[in-house]
Amino acid sequence: MLMSSRVAAFDHWIRTSFVQMNTELENLYFMQEDRAQVIGVGDAVKQALRAEGHVHVVELLAEGNTGDGFDSAFEVLGNVGLYLGALRRHELTNPVREERSPFVEASSLALHVGASLGMAPRFSTAHLATRNKAVAGVRKSFTSLPDEFLFIDENTRGIMSLQRAADALTQIVHLGVSSPVADIQFAVARDALNDVLRFNQRLFDQLDVQRFFYSVRPYYKPYRVGRQEYRGANAGDFSGINEIDLLLGLCQANNPYYAQLLVDKMLFMLPSDQARLRDCMMRVSLLDELLALAPQHSGADWFQRNARSFIEVCDLFGQTAVQHHNALVTRFIEEPARSVVPDHLPGITASGPPLPVLLRALEVLRDLRAAADRADIPTRHADLARLRACLNRG
């Protein structure tokens, strides 16, 4: 369906002038001795960004729900979200200083569209990743810095690979873990997870730490829409990762910590992802299925084959989680944060909690996914060991 001309005009602005102004501001910040100093720098550009975006927002708000369907509304939600994310990044708003967003029209537009779609009223990962439509090769972004494109592209590749693994595991649920046909799905999941490891490694090798930390990451900070503060987007806001957690059985929806995480991220995902996640929460995991079959059938060929493939997939998934935390989070967040003047530290993470709190939460996820030997959280270490013990040598 064709987008309204106002929707298209806003989209064009977001893909052109908006990107140019953000890039100009980033270069100004970046050449300072203190790269985290944003207030008072590039004020004329900031005001132009604010004013130009405002014109588009007011027109769209007046137009109301254009009835153009999901794609168009999703586009508007992303664009108004990118605009608000940039205003936050340039310190034209800061949830700590305010009780409500100073951008009344942009908030109204985001709330209207977000509520009608069933999503949080802010831009989400899908806007910049799996639903980021390239126009003549150019993806939507905040800036035209090569490091931002590298980040967006590799994130998207990682997300799509995890989705591929999740799709394959979902098919095994329908086949039953004893089915001989599960072999091809285990192979798809294995290959997809190897791809994730490769893309993460590329990010680790190629992304510039300083540019990422000072010029890309700040666009993912929390901001207010209306009265309420919404956490930032992160590459985890898609259902595939949790589908893998739940279907493998490494994380369990009856664990209150994990269930809370799922509830919190629901509205940051596409409605189609929300539905997939809900469905997964009602399934029996492959690990539980295999453990239930083990006492009677562990000697059978099908059991040996499928349990081996299952363990291989679990191990690879654990490796991706360890790599995300020990390589990416450490190199691109934890290490550079150490050199930031304490005044500028709040607001470094996308979700908002202080960095040590966030890091501990991410460690819990890493260890659940890696089935680490920890007594303080419900990992599946012992259960996986039981399953491993069922495998014949050789």
Which residues make up the interface to ligand HEM (CB under 6 A)? 154-155, 158-159, 162, 200, 203, 207, 212, 234-236, 241, 324, 328-329, 332-333, 349-351, 358, 362, 365
Looking up tokens 């005044």, which residue turns up? 343
Which CB atom, from 108 or from 323, has the smaller least distance to ligand HEM? 323
Least distance between ligand HEM and beta carbon 108 (Å): 26
Nearest to 125 by CA among 225, 238, 11, 207: 238
DSSP assignment letter at 372 = -
Residue nearest to ligand HEM (CB): 236
Least distance between ligand HEM and beta carbon 55 (Å): 32
Q: What are the distances in angstroms from CA 137 to CA 3, 194, 199, 311?
A: 20, 27, 20, 39
Contact 83, 53 (CB under 8 A): yes
Which CB atom, from 18 or from 212, has the smaller least distance to ligand HEM? 212
Which CB atom, from 291 or from 371, has the smaller least distance to ligand HEM? 371
Which CB atom, from 38 or from 246, has the smaller least distance to ligand HEM? 246
Q: What are the distances in angstroms from CA 282 to CA 168, 243, 256, 266, 276?
A: 18, 11, 15, 16, 10
Q: Which amino acid is present at 37?
A: Q
From the CA atom positions of the chain, what is the Rg in Å? 22
Which CB atom, from 160 or from 387, has the smaller least distance to ligand HEM? 160
Nearest to 78 by CA among 32, 130, 39: 130
User: Which structure tokens are listed for 295?
Assistant: 């006492």
Which CB atom, from 273 or from 289, has the smaller least distance to ligand HEM? 273
Nearest to 178 by CA among 307, 65, 38: 307
Least distance between ligand HEM and beta carbon 328 (Å): 4
For 129, list phi and psi in degrees, rounded to 5: -120, -100
Which CB atom, from 162 or from 246, has the smaller least distance to ligand HEM? 162
Least distance between ligand HEM and beta carbon 181 (Å): 28
Least distance between ligand HEM and beta carbon 136 (Å): 25
Cα distance between residue 125 and residue 127, in whole Å: 5
Least distance between ligand HEM and beta carbon 296 (Å): 35
Least distance between ligand HEM and beta carbon 187 (Å): 21
Contact 368, 245 (CB under 8 A): yes
Least distance between ligand HEM and beta carbon 348 (Å): 8
SS3 34: coil
Which CB atom, from 42 or from 158, has the smaller least distance to ligand HEM? 158
DSSP assignment letter at 345 = -
What DSSP line would sit under 127-142, residue for residue?
HHTTT---BTTBPP-S
